[in-house]
Chains A and B, each alone.
Chain A
Amino acid sequence: IEQGQRPFSDIRNTVGNVPMEWYQDYPHIGYNLDGKKIFKPIRNKDELDEFLDKMENPDYWRTVHDKTTASDIRLTDEQVDLVHRLQKGQFGDVNFNEYEPSVDFFTNEVMIHPVTNRPQDKRSFIPSLIEKEKVSKLVHAIKMGWIKPRKPKETTPQYYDLWAKEDPNAILGRHKMHVPAPKMRLPGHEESYNPPPEYLLTEEERLVWEQQDAEDRKLPFLPQKHSCLRAVPAFSRFIHERFERCLDLYLCPRQRKMRVNVNPEDLIPKLPKPKDLQPFPTTMSLVYRGHTSLVRSISASPTGQWLVSGSDDFTVRFWEVNTGRCMKTLEVGGAVKSVAWNPNPAVCLVAVCFESTVLLLNPSLGDRLVVSSTDQLITSYEPPEEDKEQAVTWALSEGPEHNKGHRLTLTHPKAVKQVVWHGKGDYLSSVMPDNSSNLQVLIHQVSKRRTQNPFRKSKGLVQCVSFHPLRPYFFVATQRYVRIYNLIKQELTKKLMTNCKWISSMAIHPGGDNLICGSYDCRLAWFDLDLSTKPYKMLRHHKKALRGVAFHRNYPLFASGADDGSVIVCHGMVYNDLLQNPLIVPVKVLKGHQITHDLGVLDVTFHPTQPWVFSSGADATIRLFT
């Protein structure tokens, strides 16, 4: 029986199916049938033994290690055969026939004898009443035409004249907003199977195309050239493209876009021709050289014969306009920030400011009489009885300084940035930009050597100031606003919003009703004071910050100099008729100054009588454009 139960296993170890590790620490690995310990071999095989065995033993391949008895078993031929068969997925038994002919359990032939002897029921002989009822109902229904045989379904669609009665007005409400889908783009030459050679991509273009994202590509396909129609392959993205079109048709939001179809020439405003607006400066005629550092400020004498310039090289130079000769050079004790020639032709005085000093010079140029009368004017001063405390100390120059031309020295408490004369030539204003104090602007009277501080409160950092040419108004430009004060009534009359970030310069039309403001954000604002406190026109002609602006005294011209090294001269006609707005036409872009340290033109000023413009630049030159 034992043999029958386990025909193939020969149990030598009785421990059963337990992990053999349990016996790791013992000398034996189980018990045999007799209950005796089975001992492990004395010496375990190591790798070397294994290898030698592998090399030398011809039966190594059919040797298996039996873990339960710790012995090697050599498989017999039959056993090897069995393993092969099992590996092939065959039955283990050689003699087993898997294709045995099947034998039916029951025969398929009907036997003459019944399986059971039970007689059939009566109901199997007589017709069913319920069935009869049902059938008769159906028959009746068919007779009455209630049930019809099923019609074969029409599979092909039927077409007819759908638009036989078409009504063009039958457009539904929703069609008002209907945006028809745009048609597919028609193919260009590059899509041809045999395009002209210029439409094919070069190697680099092809690489670029391949690296681009599908959305960025200009062409959605690579142009290709085929020598004949037969060689043209199928387009691999055909279905994709069709599908994308479908998606576009039902998913893509549509919007009606108005395309501007304008001729660009029509957009250019029609302006009067510059030729008709002559005279204006057109060419550079003279270059005044001599300064060694940037020329901050220039001013022309009221006769138009002389020009004064102040530079960062601590000098003030006087030039003859027509010849370009430097008549005089005066060393002053600091970088000159601003110079201003007295506009009164009967007085020969020049105001120069450097550091915290304003110097009044008599250059002794021009008419002797004027020069001497000016000196007389200054010496004829009689100090008043009661000495008032002033913000500025006035000092009369004497000795060698007097010989150099210095007349009066006004020592300010702070650095002075700008000096400007009143039109009559008696009053002088100086600017000491300082955000925190109210002592920013001072007005001096030369004849009485008096100084006043017109403002009680600081309204921001003062950039520049100016006197009204005719009426007693005073213009103060802070960073963003220009305030106009009435000097007699001592009140604020107007506040102009410039819409600029930082005003750099300001000039007032000789008529006094218009004002231009240059700003560091490249803009020039033209104000019509009668019109509004907002700029009448913003001109963005320059590419860089504006440094200086100027009006011509007689001609309808104004100029602006900027860091891009150009001076733009515009025709700015102001009409006496209040109904007509000023006409502003740019007439000339004057170039000449070199840009040094990102600075171009620093100051511009017009000749008092001729249509000439002077400009001083960071390249240490002054240029005259006529």
Chain B
Amino acid sequence: MGGLQKKKYERGSATNYITRNKARKKLQLSLADFRRLCILKGIYPHEPKHKKKVNKGSTAPRTFYLLKDIRFLLHEPIVRKFREYKVFVRKLRKAYGKAEWTGVERLRDNKPGYKLDHIIKERYPTFIDALRDIDDALSMCFLFSTFARTGKCHVQTITLCRRLTVEWMNYVVASRSLQKVFISIKGIYYQADVLGQLITWLVPYQFAHDHPTDVDYRVMATFTEMYTTLFGFINFRLYQTLNLVYPPKLDSKAESELKAEHEEDYAMDSESYLEKLSALSASLARVVATAEEEENQLDQFPADGEDIENMEAREKEQKEQEDQNRLFEGLKFFLNREVPRESLAFILRCFGAEVSWDKSLCIGGTYDVTDETITHQIVDRPDIDKQYINRYYIQPQWVFDSVNAKMCLPVEDYFLGVTLPPHLSPFVEEKDGDYVPPEKLKLMALQRGEKHVQEEEEEEDEDEDDDDDEEEDNDEEDEDLTEEKNLKKMEDQRSQGKTLAVKVTPGKVKPWETGSVGNKVRLEQEEKAEEKRLAIMMMKKKEKYLYDKIMFGKKRTTREANKLAAKRKAHEDTSKAEKKQKKAKKK
């Protein structure tokens, strides 16, 4: 009895969501302004759990915002600024139409602007939150800083982006927090560990952009507006943590050195200062003059049991980290003019090397080619005329690979005109079952300190060696036979792939195939497999589905890994055959 009839869609999830159009109407904003507001405030649509319920029974594709989010936007002071700007545009248009030039000027002077500080603070209540989200900001600013100053966006934005990125790079150099670098076909990836946060960013190659027509630059500009604000505050804070002066100033020592030579080449002082900063060759001025390197030892705490292990592990890690930071310390590099100066100078300086370049290339070179103390010269051309004996001429990939390997790799593979070894991504972490390229295995062996097998001399010998290795491998694997025979077989194939073996080795008789003992083992194994099969039959439908899905995924990864291994093997076969042919021809 009694009570009002419950109506549908008046409670529950239907009331928690709002469609975009309704939200826009509620906020009384145009679509463009709504978009801008969403970008700045970081509001995004949500995918409701029960879409049909939220959509009031309809299954039409709609995007839903959380009603709370939209209510939260209602009180945003920046909405008023948007409206003011709209009014300003209207007034300006009117003044233009009436040719009231003084009016135009006055309006221009009073152009309404807005600040995003409060939004940043609101979106990122703590500094770490902000730092965690800076990846996209970095990539975007690096992209914008490479734009030409024509039309696509405001020149101020471009210069601001450039300034911020230079500040960031200087910070990374000063804090020595760069971890990994990777040359991809898109650009150069960097990963830095800033205050415990792994930050990855992508820098495009220094080319003029072919601006696509199907990209809305207004959206990008709005993002950049937000990102530059965020980025600036983060830079400020980061500089503060290192006791550096913000905006960055060059060290007084470095400044005096630089001043003498190049002053007359640059028209504007401010511009040349940014150039000098972006040269990354000098260290930055500090608020409080401190000792050059302060050693901060971890305090020893009395601990027991596992804590000690943890502590040791941590200490070890830190030591490794420090070692990596001093990777290039004491080395003197010279960059030839054809190598990407900025990225190389950045990386080398991050790891403590001294670096210089040709005077005509950029401001800030500290020594000349003729300097006898140069240890490495980075060259990216097939040959060079005048070579000094007491330095290595290497290709730029050496720097990147060395950083990723956390050790100075042997320079022989990177000499001038040498076919470079493949450049591997440092971001890939192989789980077991994944395909590991043989180069990575070699590198890992090198890192462990094993002696690098001389490859080039006497291939035959090496082949045999490898075969032995392989057999050993097989034995090991036999010992811990898994129930999935196929998988194992595939792995074997892969291990064949990694060693350069091509020829057929005499088959070794497996112990369990001959004796009755072995027979027992096999029987046992078969029994186990059957047991498993029977148990799988008894699984519940839901679990079975999940299990099948997982197994399908596993199988797919192995399949892909096998495919890669097979491809590698085929490639090696062909290259070897080619080599042999060449040899035969020579004879």
Contact = CB atoms under 8 A, between A and B. Distances in A.
Contacts of A568: 537
Contacts of B439: 196
Contacts of B246: 159
B534 interface: yes
A567 to B, nearest CB: 14
B37 to A, nearest CB: 10
Closest 3 CB pairs of A and B: A234-B207, A186-B427, A255-B47
A242 B184 contact: no
A99 interface: no
Given A162-B120, A187-B427, A198 B185 contact: no
Nearest to B215: A243
A170 B564 CA distance: 50
Nearest to A194: B423
B45 A242 contact: no
B45 A229 contact: no
Interface stretch (B85-93, B122-130, B294-302, B500-508): B122-130
Nearest to B229: A157
Contact of B127 (A150, A163, A188, A249): A163
A584 interface: yes
A322 B130 CA distance: 83
A99 B38 CA distance: 62
A180 interface: yes
A155 interface: yes
A275 B427 CA distance: 48
A192 B182 contact: yes
B534 A271 contact: yes
Nearest to B533: A589
Contacts of B233: 159-163
A239 B211 contact: yes
B47 A250 contact: no
A599 interface: no
A247 B185 contact: no
B240 interface: yes
Given A192-B183, A585-B534, A174 B422 contact: no
B338 interface: yes
Given A155-B156, A186-B427, A241-B186, A249 B44 contact: yes
B236 A251 contact: no
B205 A156 contact: no
Interface of B: 35, 38-39, 43-47, 49, 63-64, 66, 68-69, 72, 109, 115, 117, 120-122, 124-127, 130, 132-133, 135-136, 139-140, 143, 156, 160, 182-187, 189, 200, 202, 204-205, 207-212, 214-216, 219-220, 223, 228-229, 232-233, 235-237, 240, 246, 338-340, 380-381, 395-397, 419-420, 422-425, 427-428, 437-439, 527, 530-539, 541, 543, 546-547, 550-551, 554, 564-565, 567-568, 571
Interface of A: 150, 153, 155-157, 159-163, 166-168, 170-174, 177, 179-181, 183-184, 186-189, 191-199, 202, 221, 223-224, 226-230, 232-236, 238-243, 245-247, 249-255, 260, 262, 264, 267-271, 273-275, 539-541, 568, 584-589
Given A191-B186, A191-B425, A196 B232 contact: no
Contacts of B64: 253
A589 B534 CA distance: 8
B550 A199 contact: no
Contacts of A170: 125
Nearest to A171: B125
B196 to A, nearest CB: 15
Nearest to A170: B125
A322 to B, nearest CB: 28
B228 A157 contact: yes
A172 B119 CA distance: 12
Given A179-B44, A197-B422, A226-B185, 18 more contacts: A157-B232, A162-B120, A168-B125, A168-B126, A173-B72, A181-B133, A186-B427, A187-B425, A192-B424, A197-B571, A233-B205, A243-B216, A243-B220, A250-B43, A273-B531, A274-B530, A539-B538, A588-B534
A586 B550 CA distance: 23
A572 B337 CA distance: 82
A240 B122 contact: no
A252 B44 CA distance: 7
Contacts of A255: 46-47, 49
Contacts of A166: 125-127
Contacts of A270: 535
A549 to B, nearest CB: 16
Given A157-B229, A229-B339, A275-B527, A195 B45 contact: no
B46 A236 contact: no
Contact of A268 (B43, B139, B395, B535): B535
Nearest to B182: A187
B568 A197 contact: yes
Contact of A230 (B130, B140, B380): B380
A209 B494 CA distance: 26
Contacts of B214: 240
Contacts of A236: 210
A26 B207 CA distance: 77
Given A166-B126, A234-B207, A253-B45, A161 B534 contact: no
A363 B364 CA distance: 112
B338 to A, nearest CB: 6
A249 B139 CA distance: 14
A260 B160 contact: no
Contact of A199 (B124, B130, B536, B564): B564
Contacts of A174: 66, 68-69, 72
B183 A232 contact: yes
Contacts of A253: 44-47, 63-64
A246 B217 CA distance: 11
A586 B537 contact: yes
A250 B68 CA distance: 17
B308 to A, nearest CB: 30
A227 B45 CA distance: 45
Contacts of B220: 242-243, 246
B189 to A, nearest CB: 6
Nearest to A245: B136
B38 A167 contact: no
Contacts of A585: 534, 538
A198 B401 CA distance: 19
Contact of A229 (B117, B183, B219, B223): B183
A240 B217 CA distance: 11
10 contacts: A157-B160, A159-B235, A161-B240, A172-B72, A174-B68, A180-B132, A192-B425, A240-B212, A246-B220, A268-B539
B45 A251 contact: yes
B237 A268 contact: no
A235 B236 contact: no
